[in-house]
Amino acid sequence: MHEHTFATLMAGGSGTRFWPLSRRTRPKQILPIAGDRPMIRVTLDRLGGQVPPERVLVATGADQEAGIRKVLPEIPAENFLLEPTPRNTAPCLALASATALARDPLAVMVCLPADHVIRPAEAFRNALTLATKRADRAGTLLTFGIRPTRPATGYGYILAGEETIPGVRTVREFEEKPGLEKAERFLKHGGYRWNSGMFTWRADAFLAEVETHLPVLATGIAKIARDPACLSKVFPTLPSISVDCGIMERTGRAEIVDAAFGWDDVGSFEALSRLIDRDQAGNYIRGDAVVLDGEGLIIDSGGGRTVGALGVSDLVIIATDDVVLVCSRRRAEDVKLLVGKLTLAGREDLA
């Protein structure tokens, strides 16, 4: 990988779709959702040591810092970029890019969500090596495109264009999350890729695009770069916008890496059906559970309780030491609505 590479782990989310496993101060990125190790630990280890700890930045909220530092003790304290309030990915990555650029004028950024499942790791590292070299030489902003395996409606799509170098293509257009009919057309077309939300760019090239397309954000980040003590005052005033909408869909310098690895963003409990082996009845079970005449169940009883399910199908059942969640699999994306209701009811102890 490029010798000036910095890695930014984006770990600011609270993982409300994984409630009650994930909580505000115990978000899913520090939990073993997809295996036996915390997801952010797996994300860092996946780099294979090619980015040293002193060049790894962690963007997160102040209330999550303690939990993440326990999981990643080798990351220096000064590498934690603590957002006073969530402002989406464009401000997050602009701050990370400005931080890296201040330390190294030749900084190349690798920006990775902390809660994805990617296999095999070697293919992932090969893609990063290709992307960092391309970003450094061409000054382009690269995203990683995943070949669709199903007509998913929960992902954004990118239409890839002609090849610029082997493994890298131009971007023809970005498509927001489609309906099922459109997603099926994208799958059949063959030229569309899932937008993985992972990026590589040279820090100076990205910040130049921020100045062009999001000048208010650029001004705010410049203030913070000059005086880090003003972070708590300035950051909450920055525009809340995703890097896709704010930069990638507007820039003429976007490219896409054709990823040759398996990927899942583990966006809701439904993802467990792709990560856990199913039993003969088609149930996905982790922990202690007994099922009779049930099928298509997703069960996680890691809280020490035994779950019994009789004569039910297509449910998500999650049991922790203090909460039991039961919902239909088709409503798994809406679990966050329960968290909102608990918050409104003053049940912060459970949210």
The pLDDT value recorded for residue 26 is 85
The pLDDT value recorded for residue 14 is 77
Report which of 49, 67, 91 is spatially closest to residue 239, judged by C-alpha positions: 91
Same domain, 121 and 242: yes
Is residue 29's pLDDT more than 80? yes
Same domain, 245 and 279: no
The label of the residue with tokens 């902003």 reads 141
Residue 350 included in any domain:
no
Same domain, 141 and 60: yes
Same domain, 128 and 154: yes
Chosen domain end from 235, 264, 293 = 264
Is residue 140's pLDDT more than 80? yes
Same domain, 236 and 275: no
The percent of residues in the chain predicted with pLDDT above 70, rounded, is 100
- Average of per-residue pLDDT across 217-236: 96
- Average of per-residue pLDDT across 184-190: 95
Tokens of 163: 């090849």
- Average of per-residue pLDDT across 155-165: 96
Same domain, 243 and 277: no
Is residue 25's pLDDT more than 80? no
Q: For residue range 295-320, list pLDDT tens digits in order.
A: 999 999 977 789 999 999 999 999 99
The pLDDT value recorded for residue 128 is 97
Residue 105 included in any domain:
yes
3-class secondary-structure state, position 243: helix
- Average of per-residue pLDDT across 185-194: 95
- Average of per-residue pLDDT across 239-259: 96
The pLDDT value recorded for residue 151 is 94
Same domain, 308 and 289: yes
Chosen domain end from 221, 237, 264 = 264
Chosen domain end from 240, 264, 288 = 264
3-class secondary-structure state, position 141: strand
**CA 336 and chain centroid, separation:** 17
Where does 103-191 show beta strands of DSSP type E?
108-113, 117-119, 141-146, 157-165, 168-175
The pLDDT value recorded for residue 15 is 81
Is residue 351's pLDDT more than 90? no
Is residue 41's pLDDT more than 90? yes
The pLDDT value recorded for residue 24 is 81
- How confident is residue 51, by pLDDT bands cut at 50, 70 and 90? very high
Number of domain units in the chain: 2
What is the domain-level CATH number for residue 104? 3.90.550.10
User: Which residue range forms the structural domain that includes residue 303?
Assistant: 269-344
Same domain, 155 and 288: no
Residue 211 included in any domain:
yes
Q: For residue range 72-87, list pLDDT tens digits in order.
A: 999 999 999 999 999 9
Tokens of 45: 């280890």
Same domain, 27 and 166: yes
- Average of per-residue pLDDT across 323-331: 95
Same domain, 211 and 64: yes
The pLDDT value recorded for residue 348 is 82
